[in-house]
């Protein structure tokens, strides 16, 4: 009977634990802030060929991310012919819609895009917890009612992934790969709880 109770408790704890940190070693926090420098240079227009699938709507074109000044980014998505699909500005965590295509102008879509792009371009974040795996350093940061986890490869000290979570499940995963001159050549942003994905391929020379 006692073995059954212990087994049941172990099952409950494992079932309720967050997949993101399961099996990781928690360590004392070594630094107050961590960072994402992929959109941090004001002299660069970050240009990406983009494919966006959101709520069964598919769009292709060019995504431009521009840092205007500290904590201020502009994000514009156009068709390859130059027709604008959306135009946003993010100042700190405030989100301004300059333009959005009528087909996307729904609160649920706007809120999703807002949260995702705020996470994507935010450069400095406060660290609340730190974890380690064999190959990565992981830093946890509180974001509104959720958490973001920043994964850095130990051997290259590069940000390779951000995972946005609730208390018990992963919501959004952003993958960064083929890093060159602090530009992530490939970025994939994918929601775990519904069909929504952004694929970005850098066309910066």
Instruction: List, for residues 35-63, the tens digit of each pLDDT value.
Output: 999 999 999 999 999 999 988 889 999 99
Mean model confidence pLDDT for the chain: 88
The model's pLDDT over 156-201, given as tens digits with 9 standing for 90+, comes to 789 999 999 988 889 999 999 999 888 999 999 999 887 889 999 9
pLDDT for 3: 46
Is the pLDDT confidence value at 2 over 70?
no
Domain boundaries, the chain: 19-202
* 71 close to 92: Cβ distance less than 8 angstroms: yes
* 44 close to 38: Cβ distance less than 8 angstroms: no
User: Which of 38, 59, 90, 39 lies closest to 199, judged by CA?
Assistant: 59
User: Which of 73, 72, 74, 101 lies closest to 86, judged by CA?
Assistant: 101
Fold of 19-202: outer membrane lipoprotein receptor (LolB), chain A (2.50.20)
Is the pLDDT confidence value at 10 over 50?
no
Outline where 47-148 has alpha helix (H): 107-121
pLDDT band at 17 (very low <50, low <70, confident <90, very high): low
Is the pLDDT confidence value at 149 over 50?
yes
């Amino acid at each position: 009977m006692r073995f059954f109770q212990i087994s049941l408790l172990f099952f409950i704890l494992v079932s309720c634990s967050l997949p993101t940190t399961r099996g990781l070693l928690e360590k004392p926090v070594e630094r107050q802030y961590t960072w994402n420098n992929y959109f941090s240079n004001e002299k660069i227009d970050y240009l990406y060929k983009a494919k966006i699938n959101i709520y069964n709507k598919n769009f292709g074109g060019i995504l431009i991310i521009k840092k205007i000044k500290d904590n201020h980014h502009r994000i514009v998505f156009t068709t390859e012919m130059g027709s604008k699909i959306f135009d946003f500005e993010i100042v700190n965590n405030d989100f301004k819609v300059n333009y959005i295509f009528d087909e996307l102008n729904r609160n649920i879509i706007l809120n999703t895009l807002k949260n995702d792009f705020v996470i994507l371009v935010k450069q400095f974040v406060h660290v609340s917890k730190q974890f380690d795996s064999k190959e990565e350093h992981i830093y946890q940061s509180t974001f509104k009612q959720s958490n973001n986890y920043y994964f850095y490869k130990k051997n290259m000290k590069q940000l390779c992934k951000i995972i946005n979570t609730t208390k018990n499940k992963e919501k959004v995963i952003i993958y960064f790969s083929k890093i060159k001159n602090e530009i992530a050549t490939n970025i994939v942003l994918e929601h775990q709880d519904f069909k929504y994905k952004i694929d970005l391929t850098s066309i910066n020379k």
